[in-house]
Amino acid sequence: MPPERKPFRRIGPDQRRDAMIDAMLSLIAEEGMAAATTRAVAARAGVTPGLIRHYFDSKDALLSAAYERHMSALTAATCGPHQGRSAAQRLARFVAAGLRAPVTSAEAVSLWAGFLAHVQHGGAMQDTHAATYAEFRDHLQALIADALVEAGRAVPEPALRRHAIACNAVIDGLWLEGGMLPDAFAPGELARIGLDSVSAMLDLALTPDMIEEEDTP
């Protein structure tokens, strides 16, 4: 009797890559970075450990790919093309989008936390980190500038930078709290607090009705 070997199907290379990245992400989110071993990832992806090395140069490469995917998903969900009649409305929607699921969620924050330590201590992940951070803050600063100009206020660049730093901080802080203590806030509460805070800091009215869905097609 021939030794039984696991049967398998060949699927598209991109699909396999994605399956492994998905497995890695869900493992980190659910059981933490320490549990995300090559064997565990392979098992969850329904493959043999050896296959990981066929698609990625090393475990670190897989980790980098996973990090990149997670961060670009977050950025896309927040910075995505928010339509709005006014600049103020676009800003309001940006703030609210970042403080709602799926961006603000226990899984997203858990993942980010798992990666954070690895980002700081060398590796290719630092580039992704810097790029993501810069994109987010630049986007926010542009939205703020537009909204202030729209309101007829000329703000010099240093003050604009400070505004962007501060608004970014509130959003980050609320995002963190919301992800780490999911039950401590009512749905929509964080978005409202974020809106109020940014309003106060910029002295610019951002009202809840700005973020409501539009039913007019």
Partner DNA sequence: CGGCTAATTGTGCAACTGTATAATTACTGC
Partner DNA sequence: GCAGTAATTATACAGTTGCACAATTAGCCG
CA distance 151 to 42: 54
State yes or no: residue 176 binds a copy of itself (CB under 8 A).
Answer: yes
Look at residues 105, 120, 16 and name the one whose alpha carbon lies nearest to residue 67: 120
Specify whether the CB–CB gap between 198 and 95 falls below 8 A.
yes
Give the binding range for a copy of itself (CB under 8 A) out of 9-17, 42-50, 138-146, 158-166. Answer: 158-166
Q: Is 141 in the site for a copy of itself (CB under 8 A)?
A: no
Smaller CB separation from a copy of itself, 33 or 43: 33
d(C-alpha 45, C-alpha 51), whole Å:
10
The reply on whether position 188 binds a copy of itself by CB under 8 A is no
Task: Quote the CA–CA distance of 18 and 23 in Å, as a whole number.
Answer: 8
Within 16-75, the residues that bind DNA by CB under 7 A are 16, 36-40, 46-54, 58-60
Indicate which single residue of 13, 80, 173, 208 sits in contact with a copy of itself (rule: CB under 8 A). Answer: 173
The interaxial angle of helices 87-98 and 59-79, nearest 10 deg, is 140
Q: 93 with 154: CB under 8 angstroms?
A: no
Residues at the site binding a copy of itself, with contacts judged by CB under 8 A:
31-35, 110, 113-114, 116-118, 120-121, 133, 162, 165-166, 168-174, 176-177, 180-181, 185, 193-194, 196-197, 200-201, 203
Residues at the site binding DNA, with contacts judged by CB under 7 A:
2-11, 13, 16, 36-40, 46-54, 58-60
